[in-house]
Amino acid sequence: MSTTHWKDYTLTGGDAVADGGQPGWYTPALDRKTLKGLMKRSDRPALANYGLWIGLIIALGAVTVATWGSAWGIVWLLVYSAVHQSATARQHELGHGTPFRTRWINEMFFHFSSFITLSEGHYYRWRHARHHTHTIIVGKDPEIQSPRPPEIVSLLINLFNLKTVVLTARDFLRRAAGDLGQGRHFIPEGEQPKVIRAARIYLGLIALIVAACFVTGSLLPLLLTIGPRVIGAPLYALLHFTQHAGLDEDVHDHRLNSRTIYMNPVLRFLYANMNYHVEHHIFPMVPYYRLPELHALIKDQCPEPKHGLVDAYRDIVPTLLRQLKDPSYHLRPALPAAAVAAE
């Protein structure tokens, strides 16, 4: 009789892959001077991009308020929330510190984006650093979205971040009380007070938003600030899930555990070019606005990108369904013959 082995993905789980220190990841051939040029930051493209984003939020927010009470109010709230939650992709980029050359501008947008996505910045940075060191390594990466076998019901519920929001509320309360949960495995002791203090500030700000709703007798203060974390979630759930879903785990080659997808300019704007995910993981220091150039330079050494979200999900959905019965199954992108897999 065969038994299905369900892996333990927690950071203290028995399925943690043992490796000594910093793993050696596959790196494509790229002239050092070219790479350094790509890593250079400039405030100008980021200010133009973020200026447009903030402008859209203000304009769409104003239209939502103006039409609130009618059916159009709901429509505009949906549009507003979809644009607002571009913050999830932006927080990620800002967390890397790459969009702006001027540090304080980067940090200002980072903490703003962190709050409106309810993803506290200090904790996020430590967790995400671990994700980049040990990308999709079981028992080491705290950001594995698609464990095997997949948790389909949980994934569907979380299309609207419903599970995430509940867990976030629990985590903020715990952290505010000094319990960092899994964070104690990747946040140095000296940095932990910052996370605890930030959780308390977040809870205070959320209480102010709720109070504003009571004072104004309207849900708008909530709907326009942190409400989009739920209302605007589905687009980003669909985008983020494509980054690694269905691909291999426990391999030190981002071409085998990450996915690049060609997308239209609107989605790339909202998603901060994170569709170039293989490239982002191989060279996380390259700002999002240089990723298309990086892609053009190394695409011959990487698998063929998927052509749009539908194309990606044509791979992902059947893979997840098959993994329900066979958790060992995964996609294996074809690597160019000249670029050998570094497994």
**By CB under 8 A, which span of 43-51, 121-129, 170-178, 217-225 interacts with another protein?**
121-129
Report residue 261: phi and psi, to 5°.
Answer: -130, 135
Tell me the pairing of strands 306-307 and 261-262: parallel
Find the shortest distance in angstroms from Cβ 190 to another protein.
6
Q: What is the largest CA-CA distance in the chain?
A: 65
Q: Which pair of tokens denotes residue 319? A: 């893979």
Of these, 15, 143, 191, 311, which contacts another protein (CB under 8 A)? 191
Site for another protein contains 36 (CB under 8 A):
yes
Site for another protein contains 15 (CB under 8 A):
no
Tell me whether residue 40 or residue 332 sits nearer to another protein (CB atom).
40
Q: Report whether 146 contacts 23 (CB < 8 A).
A: no
Find the shortest distance in angstroms from Cβ 99 to another protein.
12
Site for another protein contains 32 (CB under 8 A):
yes
Of these, 56, 63, 78, 129, which contacts another protein (CB under 8 A)? 129
Q: Report whether 206 contacts 279 (CB < 8 A).
A: no
**What angle in degrees, to the nearest 10, is found between the helix axes of 43-67 and 71-84?**
160
Tell me whether residue 44 or residue 332 sits nearer to another protein (CB atom).
44
The DSSP 8-state label assigned to residue 262 in this structure reads E
Find the shortest distance in angstroms from Cβ 185 to another protein.
14
Q: Report whether 277 contacts 29 (CB < 8 A).
A: no
Find the shortest distance in angstroms from Cβ 139 to another protein.
17
Alpha-carbon gap, residue 271 to 50, rounded angstroms: 12
Of these, 45, 73, 147, 284, which contacts another protein (CB under 8 A)? 284
- Cα–Cα distance list, 18 to 7, 8, 250, 289, 338 (Å): 15, 14, 10, 36, 30
Site for another protein contains 197 (CB under 8 A):
no
Of these, 96, 175, 229, 306, which contacts another protein (CB under 8 A)? 96
Chain residues binding another protein by CB under 8 A are 21-22, 32, 35-36, 39-41, 96-98, 101, 122, 125-126, 129, 132-133, 188, 190-191, 283-285
